[in-house]
Amino acid sequence: MSRAALLVLADGRFPAGGHAHSGGAEEAVRTGRITDAASLESFCRGRLHTAGLVAAALAAAAALGCDPAALDAAADARTPSPALRTAARRLGRQLMRAARATWPGLELDAVAREFPRGVHQPVVLGLAARAAGLGAADAAHCAVYESVGGPATATVRLLSLDPFDATAVLARLAPEMDRTADTAVSAAHRVRKGGPDELPAASAPLLEIGAEAHAARPVRLFAS
Amino acid sequence: MHLDHSLPLPAPAVGADAHRPGGARRALRVGLGGPVGSGKTATVAALCRVLRDELSLAVVTNDIYTREDAEFLLREAVLPPERITAVETGACPHTAIRDDISANLEAVEDLEDAVGPLDLVLVESGGDNLTATFSRGLVDAQIFVIDVAGGDDIPRKGGPGVTTADLLVVNKTDLAPYVGSDLARMAADAKAARAELPVVLQSLRSEEGVRDVADWIRARVAAWTA
């Protein structure tokens, strides 16, 4: 693997549309669940161990070469909110575009052709990691980092939170991110033998409910 | 899934390819940027009214935190609703038009798929600062719209929008006497900042309205399809 390629893929400036999404942070801010750095940390911890873990396992399994269509269906089954499913596919499509331009290859082309409306973003993340010559652990680390990095950046904009405090939250979560990524990679290896039912199905009902409320709001800064 | 490389359909385009996946030439894409309140949406609406009977066109808006601009265009009924798409920008229109254009590329391609073939797609940025320009990966040409009420020193201050846009529009010239703006000075400063690049001074309330900008776009479309 190339450590530098991992940095390219994990960079928040990687042009795949993430900047327009808050990972549920905007709705949590609006409903008073995120008010400061401490509550941001709680929110991020919850997201990491639920949506983050599932995303990381999907990404790791895709990076191992598991069937993207089966993983996409498994992601649907683990995402009750239609708004979140739509957002995940839209982001998947955007990431697919960026990945194909960055690491051109037949495998990405074939998935783009097969699914012109996009597959869930974590699945594409795993395929992108694969195209970049990265492994399952790299894909899982990208996914867990994204699962908390997005909300932290969004909260800086939404609450004018001190950016140093927000970054310190991410740093404090780093050991948990590593452990979550490890759990996800173990699950991904099981998926290779036992199929997508081996994927974790940790859910965060408030994130799903909040996503539906957010999608219905006429005024918002972030798409999700 | 099967990875069958012999499928007839090519994969979707990745960047600013001038052709659609089927091989046909895609629409010309023109970006409109500029500060808040300078009249970008009003200019887009006027362009739609003037051009919609001679060109097949669609609009993508990039609002900052609402769908206001798209809804204004819908309310004014300048185009059928299926020809107007709003892109959400996460508080940063300049990111969505320059640094990470993926959502806008999806939007313009979806419009071509849904209502195409199109001759022209207007991509409007949310109001932003003087450095906000469009990526060449997203648009083929860009218009920067400023207005006389925003201060007549803006052309002199320059910035990438004023100095590098393919067309600079100084809007709301009818307001100049009321806000103490010196139109001649604005025109001279703009010319000095832009060398050979064109400048249009317009008032959408005048009889000429958006005529000069529409003529500039017609010439661009003619060159694109030639």
Mean pLDDT for A80-105 is 96
Whether residue B4 is predicted with pLDDT greater than 50 in this model: the reply is no
Decide if A107 touches B, using CB distance below 8 A: yes
B125 and B32 Cβ atoms separated by less than 8 Å: yes
Q: Does any domain span residue B1?
A: no
pLDDT at B5 over 90: no
CA atoms of A66 and A59, how far apart (whole Å): 10
Q: What is the pLDDT of residue B13?
A: 59
Residues 6+ apart with CB under 8 A from A175: none
What mean pLDDT comes out for the span B41-68? 91
Question: Is the pLDDT reported for residue A74 higher than 90?
Answer: yes
A101 touches B at CB < 8 Å: yes
- Residue B15 within any structural domain of the chain: no
Q: Average pLDDT, whole number, for chain B?
A: 89
The contact set of B with A (CB < 8 A) is 1-5, 7, 9-12, 14-15, 64-67, 87-92, 95-96, 99-103, 105-106
Contacts with A101 from chain B: Cβ below 8 Å:
14-15
Q: Find the mean pLDDT for residues B78-101.
A: 89
The proportion of chain B whose per-residue pLDDT surpasses 90, expressed as a percent, equals: 69
Does residue A123 carry a pLDDT above 90? yes
For residue B1, the model assigns a pLDDT of: 45
Residue B7 has pLDDT above 90, yes or no: no
- Residue B55 CB coordination number (10 Å): 18
Q: Which A-chain residues 131-150 have CB contacts (< 8 A) with chain B?
A: none
The pLDDT of residue B89:
84
A11 touches chain B (CB under 8 A): no
Predicted confidence at residue B12, as pLDDT, reads 61
Beta carbons of A97 and B65 less than 8 Å apart: no
SS3 of residue A166 by DSSP: helix
Of B7, B14, B88, nearest to A100 by CB-CB distance is: B14
To the nearest whole Å, the CA of B96 is away from the closest chain A CA by 8
pLDDT at B8 > cutoff 70: no
Minimum Cα–Cα distance from A115: chain B residue:
B11
State residue A53's pLDDT score: 98
Residues A157, B3: C-beta atoms closer than 8 Å: no
Q: What is the average pLDDT across B29-47?
A: 95
What per-residue confidence (pLDDT) applies to B76? 87
Kindly determine whether residue A93 and residue B106, on different chains, have CB atoms separated by under 8 Å: yes
Query: Which residue in B1, B10, B92 is closest to A19 by CB distance?
Result: B92
**Locate tokens 């010239």: which residue?**
B173
Q: Which of B9, B64, B103 sits opposite A113 (nearest CB)?
A: B9
Rounded average pLDDT over A188-209: 96
Q: Is the pLDDT of residue B6 over 90?
A: no
Find the CB nearest B5 among A95, A110, A221: A110
pLDDT at B77 over 90: no
Q: Is residue B64 part of a domain?
A: yes
Separation of alpha carbons A216 and B14, rounded Å: 31
State yes or no: pLDDT of B92 exceeds 90: no
Q: How does DSSP assign chain B, residue by residue? A: ----TT-SSPPPP-S--SB-TTSSB--EEEEEE-STTSSHHHHHHHHHHHHTTTS-EEEEEEESSSSHHHHHHHHTTSS-GGGEEEEE-TT-HHIIIII--HHHHHHHHHHHHHH---SEEEEEPPS--TT----TTT-SEEEEEEEGGG-TTHHHH--HHHHH-SEEEEE-GGGHHHHT--HHHHHHHHHHHHTTS-EEE--TTSSSTTHHHHHHHHHHHHHHH-
Task: Find chain B residues with C-beta within 8 A of A15's C-beta.
Answer: 99-102
Give residue B3's pLDDT: 47
pLDDT band at B2 (very low <50, low <70, confident <90, very high): very low
Q: Measured between beta carbons, which residues in chain B are less than 8 angstroms from residue A68?
A: 1
- Which range of residues forms the domain containing residue B182? 28-225
Phi, psi of B29 (to 5 degrees): -115, 120
| Range with the poorest average pLDDT among A197-201, A217-221, B3-7, B100-104 | B3-7
Distances in whole angstroms, Cα of residue B54 to Cα of each of A42, B36, B214: 56, 30, 11
Task: Please count the CA atoms within 13 angstroms of the CA of B206 that sit on its side-chain side.
Answer: 13
Q: What would the two tokens of residue A17 be? A: 């549309």
Q: What is the per-residue pLDDT for B10?
A: 58
> Quick check: is B57 in a domain?
yes
Q: Residue A216, SS3?
A: coil
The answer to whether residue B119 sits within a structural domain is yes
Do the domain assignments include residue B218? yes
pLDDT of A4 above 70: yes
Domains annotated for chain A, with CATH where assigned, are: 3-215 (1.10.4190.10)
Identify the pLDDT of residue A36: 97
**Which one of B4, B5, B14 has the shortest CB-CB distance to A97?**
B14
What is the C-alpha separation between B225 and A51, in angstroms, rounded?
Answer: 47
The answer to whether B31 and B97 are in contact (CB under 8 A) is: yes
Read off the CATH number of the domain in which B131 is found: 3.40.50.300
Specify binding-site residues of B for GTP: 34-41
| DSSP type of residue A105 | -
- Chain B CB contacts of A222 under 8 Å are 88, 90-91
pLDDT of residue A116 exceeding 80: yes
At residue B218, what are phi and psi to the nearest 5 degrees?
-55, -40
User: How many domains does chain B divide into?
Assistant: 1
Give yes or no for a contact between A21 and A84, defined as CB atoms under 8 angstroms apart. no
Distance from CA of A179 to the nearest CA of B (A): 30
CB contact under 8 A, A116 and B5: no
Q: Tell me what pLDDT residue A1 has.
A: 63
Task: Give the per-residue pLDDT at B16.
Answer: 61
Q: Name chain A contacts of B64, Cβ cutoff 8 Å.
A: 221
Per-residue pLDDT tens digits for B164-187:
999 999 999 999 999 999 999 999
Q: How many CB atoms lie within 10 A of CB A203?
A: 14
* A189 in reach of chain B (CB within 8 A): no
* Least confident segment among A203-207, B24-28, B171-175: B24-28
- ipTM rounded to 2 decimals: 0.86
B160 found inside a domain: yes
Q: Residue A21: pLDDT band by 50, 70, 90 thresholds?
A: very high
pLDDT score of A219: 86
Q: How many inter-chain contacts (A to B, CB under 8 Å) are there?
A: 88
Least confident stretch, A113-117, A170-174, B65-69, B181-185: B65-69
Q: Search chain B and give the residue with CA nearest A20.
A: B90
| Residue B9 covered by a domain | no
What's the length of chain B?
Answer: 226
